[in-house]
A and B are shown apart, each in its own frame.
Chain A
Amino acid sequence: MRWLLLKDLQILRRSPLQLTLLVLYPIVIALLVGFAMTRGPEQTTVALYNAMPAGESLGFGSDQIDGDEIRDQLCDRVDCVEADSTAGARKMVESGEATAAVIVPEDLGDKIRSLASLTPESPQIQVIVNGSDAVENQVTDDRIDAMLGEANLLLAKRLSEGAKEYLDLILKGGQFDVLGQKIEVLGLQKSEQILKRIEPELPPGTSKEELGRAVRFAHLATDNLDLAGPLLTAITEPIQVDKVVVGDDAPSLDTFAIGVTVAFALMFVTVLLVAGSLALEREENAFTRLTAGLVSRGQILAGKVGLGTLVGAVVALILLLGLGIFVGIEWGRAPYWLLALIFGAAAFSAGGAALGAAAREVRAATLAAVMICLPIALLSLVPDDAVGSAVETMINLVSAIFPFRPTLDAVTAGLEISGGGIWLPLIHLTILTAAYSALARLALRRF
């Protein structure tokens, strides 16, 4: 078997393209995924046209937001460029200079102020997006939603604070500014105190009963309006979430991303290599000569699985080392993730051998490997909650008979202690290695 393994490594070395791919593939993937994981999303460029009169503020009473504050809020999450008109902003979106445009209309201030009146109007801003790219549209929508959400939150806070001040004025009394003139407001608390004070001094038989009712009203109003203040403040606060996690801890997103990358690399390298290499034995007419008393079919199979395990594990290791430049990998857990790489590579190799033995031709084996591996791997990534129970059962079944999911579980568990246990996926992979090897051995009988 060792001579067959040596021969396969020599053949691998003789194929510059294959060898270059085997070395470059993990490095390029590591660089791409590493950059993707460490770099934040690029800022979206948004054209902003503020049609509000210069110097105008938004808000009520003393709680005003000026134009700069509005701009800061809008442009906190996006790259803003100033537009000189609605048409100018539209042009910037159409030309691609800006992904979207936000138009603040001239009457926004009036409409916001009307919210505190008896005839409130809906304040509205206009958003222009370029509809030619569905993915970019979604990203832009999300960012503008977030941007407007923050601005709305600030506005709601200011509104509630303004309303609370009015309530305080009604409760405690004070000065109120109307058209530049100061008006003294007595306030319910002081009204109650005054009424209480003069009640005993009133002669019997006069309107003492009516006065008593006025005192009770002032008292009740004071108590209840006192509660309205905290209530108004509370509705502007975001809802607090009390998160309770049950069952195994899920791996972190970074660990999951590394696991998916490694599992994909292992899958493609080992399945394609072993399936192609085994089919090549037949295409080069060597299989019959080898099995004519020199080596057994089982030894050839063991040699191919050994080749795939060795090459796959080395490629995955290079990939992990590359990713380690960008994201933290726990080197102390190396024995665990190395085990995961070796067991995963062995299971994929056995699967590749079964495929190569069944296909019998290099081209057919390669095509079958891609057509089978890719959809099953992607299916394994579908979250359970995203589909109905029947489909979920089907997906779980398919995932269980293919090495991708257990390899992913083993790698994530190997990388992170908070992931699920590593031993169960390793046992799963061992069973799959044995099952696929048995299938390959069966297929080799008519190879």
Chain B
Amino acid sequence: MEPLHTEPALDARAVTKSFDGRQALAGIDFEVGPGEVVALIGPNGAGKTTLLSILAGISEPDSGTVEADGVAWVPQMAALYRRLSVRENLLLFARLQRDAGQTDEKPEQMVERMLDLTGLADRAGDRVGTLSGGNQQRINIAIGLMAEPTVLLLDEPSVGLDPAQRERLWGFVLGLVGEGTAVAFSTHDIQEAERYGERIAVVAEGERIFNGTADELRQAVEAGGESAGDLETSFLAFLRERGH
């Protein structure tokens, strides 16, 4: 496929990582262009979360390079204090980000900006534990956006959300993309990957075995002599074809 963007906002090369002798990543390449939305799919244990945590700088690769400028990571489960209010959660992380030198913006001002962005200003005083999963995830993502990152890494952002909450969440994320933020997200929902991902990267056993659009994945399956069908069918056929 033709590269969608020539100057990647995030570029990882030949990244390897092992845990107790088990290889989680086997020299994987991964890149995200500015303003691009990339879906990362693959079977359980393929290395998606490990890759995202290395891209976010949370864990160190055993080898390989990661070049990025302004990456924010949003964990799969909402990393929020359930007994604190929405405002208190935002204020805590805004203060910590300012103390860590990640932003110069005043914490109170940043909180107001994030409340506007998430559309949760009217719930600012509510405890996070009382919010729906979708709203908690919006706060979760908002905290990741505080330092105005170039690339936002989302680890299975819609897990546990009903279709309506999922749609609202993606409306929020695509709004950020519209403002120039690149997004890389992992998911098990193939429809979600096709619907929101401009590009799809298939990871299996620590390697990237496909990198392209949903149509290109179908074409790859048909080229192998199998019927493509929907993307999920193509994805499964592709994995089978590659011995996974």
Contact = CB atoms under 8 A, between A and B. Distances in A.
A295 B83 contact: no
B203 to A, nearest CB: 21
A294 B93 contact: yes
Interface stretch (A6-14, A118-126, A239-247, A396-404): A6-14
A11 B97 CA distance: 20
A199 B165 CA distance: 134
Given A292-B56, A293-B100, A286 B73 contact: no
Nearest to B127: A14
Contacts of A284: 79-82
Contact of A7 (B57, B78, B84, B143): B84
Given A3-B96, A3-B99, A14-B127, A289 B143 contact: yes
A7 B58 contact: no
A277 to B, nearest CB: 11
Given A3-B95, A3-B99, A291 B81 contact: no
A288 B100 CA distance: 15
A310 B63 CA distance: 44
Contacts of B96: 3-4, 290, 294-295
Interface in A271-316: 284-286, 288-295
Identify whether the interface residues of A are mostly helix, strand, loop, or mixed. Answer: helix
A5 to B, nearest CB: 11
Question: Which of B75, B83, B143 has the most A CB atoms < 10 Å from its CB?
Answer: B83
B174 interface: no
Contacts of A295: 96, 100
B148 interface: no
A132 interface: no
A109 B79 CA distance: 87
Given A10-B84, A11-B84, A294-B93, A289 B79 contact: yes
A288 B127 CA distance: 21
A15 interface: yes
B88 A10 contact: yes
A7 B79 contact: no
A285 B140 CA distance: 11
Nearest to B73: A292
A295 B92 CA distance: 12
Interface in B150-204: none
B231 interface: no
Interface in B53-89: 56-58, 73, 75, 77-84, 88
B79 A11 contact: no
B83 A11 contact: yes
B80 A286 contact: yes
B44 interface: no
A14 B75 contact: no
Interface in B104-163: 127, 143
Contacts of A294: 93, 96-97, 99-100, 102
B79 A286 contact: yes
Given A292-B73, A293-B57, A15 B100 contact: no
B141 to A, nearest CB: 12
A3 B88 CA distance: 11
Contacts of A290: 96
B136 to A, nearest CB: 11
Contacts of A10: 83-84, 88
A444 to B, nearest CB: 14
Given A3-B95, A3-B96, A294-B96, A285 B83 contact: no
A288 B155 CA distance: 13
A10 B84 CA distance: 7
A15 B57 CA distance: 34
Nearest to B96: A294
Contacts of B95: 3
B215 to A, nearest CB: 35
A312 B109 CA distance: 35
Contacts of B102: 293-294
A331 to B, nearest CB: 37
A293 B146 CA distance: 13
Nearest to A286: B79
A148 B103 CA distance: 84
Given A7-B84, A284-B81, A286-B80, A291 B58 contact: yes
A288 B83 contact: no
Interface string A1-31: 0011011001100110000000000000000
B73 A14 contact: no
Contacts of A292: 56-58, 73
A4 to B, nearest CB: 8
A288 B57 contact: no
Contacts of B80: 284-286
Given A3-B96, A295-B96, A15 B83 contact: yes
A7 B75 contact: no
Contacts of A288: 58, 75, 79
A220 to B, nearest CB: 97
B88 A285 contact: no
A103 B100 CA distance: 83
A77 B75 CA distance: 72
Question: Which of B79, B88, B99, B143 has the most A CB atoms < 10 Å from its CB?
Answer: B79
Nearest to A291: B58
A98 to B, nearest CB: 55
B72 to A, nearest CB: 9
Given A289-B73, A294-B100, 4 more contacts: A11-B83, A289-B93, A295-B96, A295-B100
> Top 10 A-B pairs ranked by shortest CB distance?
A289-B79, A285-B79, A14-B83, A294-B96, A285-B77, A3-B95, A11-B83, A286-B79, A292-B58, A7-B92
7 contacts: A3-B96, A14-B127, A284-B80, A285-B79, A286-B79, A289-B73, A289-B143
